[in-house]
Amino acid sequence: AFEHCANDEQRGKLALTTLVRQCGASGGALYRLAQGKPEFSAVTSELQPRNEMAGWVQAYLDSHVHDATTATESTTDHVPEVVEHVDAAGQNYRLVLLSHNAAGHLNVMAVAVLALAAPEHFRYPGQLASMMSRLWAEQADIPTVALPRPRLRA
């Protein structure tokens, strides 16, 4: 489906809509990386983006860079930690990294912030997010951000 999108805006919306449906979320927002900083890219009609979401995304990305550059033992299968946030109204959110491994780097396309209807049923969509990232990268107008391959902590 990514090959039928006219631009990265449409690819981002498609990726977000797919993640929201597959994860049983009530809505979501997507942040692309522009010059290393999160930039709002797409939102489902069910969610009003919150000011603090870009900060959540930046902290999430910073933790990936820190983990990749401070550990000593490498791994081939990186499973992201579950990052959750709860807003003042009690809404639960989970962050999903749209990334894939290529040429010894973790190529990051975007981070989705999903609003969960039933947090206890959430499963991290790692394979789906990786597949969408790879397909999106093949069609992208904007280059991916390449991070060093994640490493296990010693």
**pLDDT tens-digit profile of 91-100?**
999 999 998 8
With a cut of 70, say whether residue 3 has pLDDT above it: yes
SS3 content of the chain, % helix, strand, coil (to 5): 35, 35, 30
Is residue 130 over pLDDT 90?
yes
Tokens for 124, please give them: 């991290």
Structure tokens at 59: 């902290």
Whether pTM exceeds 0.85:
no
